[in-house]
Amino acid sequence: MHIPLFTNLATSLLPLLSPSQQPSSSSSTITIRPIHAHTHKYNDTTSTLYFHNTSSEASFYAHDYPLSTFGADADIPSLSADDLTIRTVKTIIRRPRVRPPSMLSWSLSHKATTRRGGIIPFGTYNISEDVGMWVAPDMNSQGGEWDDVEVIAPDIKDRQTLITLAKITSNAYVLPDSGEWWPVGKWNNHTVPFGWEDNADGLRGHIFADPKNETVIISIKGTSAGVLGSGGPTAKNDKFNDNLLFSCCCARVDFSWTPVCDCYAGGWRCEQTCLEDSLVNESVYATVGTNLYNNVTYMYPNATIWLVGHSLGGSLSAMVGLSFGAPAVTFEAPGDKLASKRLHLPLPPGMPADKTGITHVYHTADPIPIGACNGAYSGCYAAGFALESKCHTGQTILYDTVTVKGWSVDIRTHRITDIIEKVLADPWPETDKPKKPSTQPFHISNLGLGQWWGWGRKGPQPGKGGDQDDGDEDTDDGGWEKHGGVPVAEAEEDCVDCYKWEFGDGWNQDPKKSEAQDGLSIAEARRKGLKRS
């Protein structure tokens, strides 16, 4: 897929952007300010990226908010001028010497080299423009196909940095006037407003840049899953991509489910090549995420690009970062290793976990990142989500809230604001000593019909420090109490996904497959919203 008229868009934007500078070798902290960016599909086959500013009514036209929500320009709120400070460190990331054109390039290259002469249904994706230009380097090669590059990355050992990145991640869900926006500084006005279509249903987020354009952070929104259909226009595509990326076999949980692809081979068997082709053909967000990253790098050619995200947005951030060798920090993300393997992204042993630049942050009471949100009595099952993967790429910072805080495993602890206010707010003890939390992570009485189930989030509240970011001023160090107390990042080396399943090719399909799957195409499944029968 390609972004139409992007040349015109870039031509309009580039003269207004201040020149990117080479990263300073002495940089230890950065301050950031946001650039509002959205992506959406304006037809069935093409993905589009738009940038805009706060001076136009149209610039606030977003996925979950109709244009009528906003009146004249005077009604558009102003943002806090407070900047956020992030500590940075130099780190080594292993990248292919020749940069891949897209996230899907790894899979397409694998197919081209292993199935030459075969017919591969790549849908609308133009393989001639991809594999014809790029071939994935051998992961076991000791030659010159890989470079270990020193880059400026967020200091994941610093708690205030994680809090800042979590706030940036949280803001991907909301508009600045919603009362749920964490103050992050002045808008960068060097942008161009573009119109928005009603009920746009694609990937959404914000882009933040430091004043010198040395560091740019892409924040990607996670799943909008609402009760009684209140998740907004992105909810259907969010659910489809969740089930495609993070289920063992096409979200084929039992006979009552509508699968998202046709790879089930009966029993606990699933066609591996079919699964890989389905991700290439159907994962709209993988393509849009690639376009987003490519266009940001085009506009900031000398900047260091970071990615952050929560839940689905976190996993997508990690996969984009893994594809291009960019630092990524995720919060409460489902296991991304399963989808990364199916897309043939660079993984251990050829790609050491500590050289991926990927860091996952989550806690043990959230069933989604630990792969426990499944089974007939789980909240995910009831809502039609098959989030079965649990293994993560890169390194993981794991907060054992079950042991240390005494929390129960509960999907309501998945909210990004719970991470900010109840997990990252205080330094984690160096020695795990179980203690009972003073308050429950989240009370069901706070769940209104308009509250997003599971993936809902609440921003800063009056009197709770929402308008003041005490941890963002770095005038004094503050010591361990302020910056320390972060668990050590470690690779998930012994993790196994989908242990009950057998994956392979050539199994005879059972003509009497489940009634839920019988006769339903992928397009029909998407139109039905992937709801169980």
Give the model confidence (pLDDT) of 325-353 as tens digits: 999 999 999 999 999 999 999 988 778 99
Q: Write out the residue range of the structural domain in which residue 132 sits.
A: 6-527
pLDDT at 161: 93
pLDDT at 138: 81
Whole-angstrom Cα distance, residue 231 to residue 287?
23
Domain count, the chain: 1
pLDDT at 253: 82
pLDDT at 133: 62
Task: Report the half-sphere exposure of 86 (CA within 13 A, side-chain side).
Answer: 27
Of 20-34, 66-80, 92-106, 239-253, the least confident: 66-80
- Higher-confidence residue: 374 or 11? 374
In a domain, 310, yes or no: yes
Whole-angstrom Cα distance, residue 405 to residue 400?
8
Of 81-90, 435-444, 459-468, 471-480, the least confident: 435-444
In a domain, 532, yes or no: no
**Beta partners for residue 31, in sequence order:** 85
Q: Which of 224, 311, 323, 340 is catalytic?
A: 311
Question: Considering the chain, what percentage of its residues have pLDDT values greater than 70?
Answer: 59
The model's pLDDT over 273-325, given as tens digits with 9 standing for 90+, comes to: 999 988 888 666 777 788 888 888 888 888 999 999 999 999 999 999 999 99
In a domain, 233, yes or no: yes
In a domain, 190, yes or no: yes
- pLDDT(126) > 90: no
The model's pLDDT over 246-264, given as tens digits with 9 standing for 90+, comes to: 999 998 888 788 889 999 9
- pLDDT(39) > 90: no
The model's confidence at residue 90, banded by pLDDT at 50, 70 and 90, is: very high
In a domain, 533, yes or no: no
Token pair 């998930």 is found at 492
pLDDT at 431: 59
pLDDT at 430: 74
pLDDT at 182: 75
- Higher-confidence residue: 208 or 70? 208
pTM of the model: 0.74
**Beta partners for residue 30, in sequence order:** 86
Work out whether the CA dihedral 497, 502, 508, 509 comes out positive or negative.
negative
The model's confidence at residue 477, banded by pLDDT at 50, 70 and 90, is: low
The predicted model gives 32-41 an average pLDDT of 51
The model's pLDDT over 369-399, given as tens digits with 9 standing for 90+, comes to: 999 988 888 888 888 888 999 999 999 999 9
The model's confidence at residue 455, banded by pLDDT at 50, 70 and 90, is: very low
pLDDT at 451: 34
- pLDDT(108) > 90: no
- Higher-confidence residue: 206 or 120? 206
pLDDT at 84: 65
The model's pLDDT over 146-195, given as tens digits with 9 standing for 90+, comes to: 899 999 999 999 999 999 999 989 888 876 666 676 776 543 332 222 22
CB atoms within 10 A of CB 37: 20
In a domain, 321, yes or no: yes
DSSP 403-455: HHT-PPP-GGGG-HHHIIIIISSSPPPSS------SS-S--GGG--TTSBTTT
The model's confidence at residue 422, banded by pLDDT at 50, 70 and 90, is: very high
pLDDT at 371: 92
Query: Is 87:154 a contact under the CB 8 Å cutoff?
Result: yes
- pLDDT(209) > 90: no
SS3 of residue 110 by DSSP:
helix
445 is annotated as an active-site residue: no
pLDDT at 66: 31
In a domain, 168, yes or no: yes
- Higher-confidence residue: 478 or 516? 478
pLDDT at 298: 87
- pLDDT(478) > 80: no
- pLDDT(18) > 80: no
Task: Report the half-sphere exposure of 331 (CA within 13 A, side-chain side).
Answer: 31
pLDDT at 89: 94
In a domain, 216, yes or no: yes
Of 218-222, 379-383, 477-481, the least confident: 477-481
Q: What phi and psi, each to the nearest 5 degrees, are found at residue 261?
A: -155, 170
